[in-house]
Amino acid sequence: MALKRVGIIGFPLSHTLSPIMHNAAFAALGLTDWHYDAMEIPPDIPKHAVEEPRRAGYVGLNVTIPFKQVVMAYCTPDAKARAIGAVNTIDFRTDVGTNTDVDGFIEDLLAHQLPLRGEKVIVLGAGGAARAAVYGLWQQGAQIVVVNRTKERADDMLAQLTVSAGVQGVQILTLDKAAEWGASLIVNCTSAGMKPQTDESPWIAGVPLPQGVTVYDMVYRPAQTAFMRQAEAVGGRAIGGLGMLIRQGAAAFRLWTGREAPLEVMRQAAEQALAQHL
C-alpha cells in the first residue's frame, strides 16, 4: 500500500499542532496509509517549499506563516483563497489552493450557537487572520467594525477585500469608538495575548466592554487568554481559538481524504499536546 503523504510548510514550525491532530485522525479512522509531516522551510524559498513536496508525490499541503500569500503563485487559488488573498491548503491532485481558515472560523462560531446575520461584530486586527474573519463575517451578513493598532494596515486590508471579494460597508474605528458603537461579538484576530506574551490583551483596560458581549479569541495558546478573562470579569462569554484550529484542519482533512474528520479525536490530541507544552 503506497503511503499517502500530506504535511505543513511554514517557518518556524516547532509549535504546530497540525501533525498531532491529523495523524491522530488518520489512526482513529484506520487510514494507516496516510501520514502528516511538518516541514520547516526557510522563508526565502517559497517555490521550493511547494514544488519539492509536489515532486515527492505528496497528496497535499497545509500552508502557514510566512507562506500563505506567496504560495498563491505556485498553485491555482480558488475563489475563497483569491477573495482573502491567502492559501492555507493545497490539493496537488487538482493543483487547487484554498483557504479553510474562513470555514473553520465560521463553523466554530455557529457550533457555539452565535447568531451572525445582522449582528454587530468588532474585529480586532488587520493581518491574515483578520482578513479571513472579515470576509467570513461579511458573507454571513454581520455588521462589522475593524480596530487595528496600525490604522493604515486596516485601510489596506479593507481596500483589498473590496477589490478581491466586493466587501463593502465595513467601518474602521478606534477602540473607544468601537466600544461606544457596541457589539454582540468581539473577535480577537491579533497575536496579543499569545504565549509567551500572556499578559497582553488587545482590549485596553479602562475601555468598557459592551454589556453581554461574547469574546472569541483566535489565540489558542494559552487556552484562557487575558482578553477572555476581561470578558468573563464583566459577565461576558469567552471562547478560545482551538475550535477554529481544529475545524480548519478538519476541512483540509475532508478535502484530502474524502472522509469526515473525527473532530473529537483531533480536539483531544490537540488539547493533550497543549497541556504537555505548558
List residues binding ligand NAP (CB under 6 A).
65, 101, 104, 125-130, 148-150, 153, 189-192, 194, 200, 202, 218-220, 241, 244-245, 248
Q: Nearer to ligand NAP by C-beta: 54 or 164?
A: 164
Buried (b) or exposed (e) across 19-42, using 16+ Cβ within 10 A? Answer: bbbbbbbbeebebeebebbebebe
C-alpha cell at 147: 480596530
SS3 for 91-128, per residue? ECCCCEEECCHHHHHHHHHHHCCCCCCCCEEEEECCCH
Cα separation, 222 vs 57, whole angstroms = 36
Contact 202, 146 (CB under 8 A): no
Shortest CA distance to 97 belongs to which of 129, 71, 133, 70? 71
Q: Provide, rounded to whole angstroms, the least separation between the CB of residue 85 and ligand NAP.
A: 11
Q: Nearer to ligand NAP by C-beta: 4 or 171?
A: 171
Q: Provide, rounded to whole angstroms, the least separation between the CB of residue 196 and ligand NAP.
A: 12
Q: Which one from 68, 120, 151, 177 is the annotated catalytic residue?
A: 68
Q: Provide, rounded to whole angstroms, the least separation between the CB of residue 136 and ligand NAP.
A: 12
Residue 68 known to be catalytic:
yes
Q: Provide, rounded to whole angstroms, the least separation between the CB of residue 223 and ligand NAP.
A: 11
DSSP letter for 197, please.
Answer: -
Q: Which residues contact 145 (CB under 8 A, 6 or more apart)?
A: 120, 121, 122, 123, 170, 171, 172, 173, 178, 181, 183
Cα separation, 167 vs 85, whole angstroms = 13
Q: Provide, rounded to whole angstroms, the least separation between the CB of residue 134 and ligand NAP.
A: 11
Q: Is 79 helix (H, G, I), strand (E, B) or coil?
A: helix
Q: Nearer to ligand NAP by C-beta: 18 or 184?
A: 18
Catalytic residues: 68
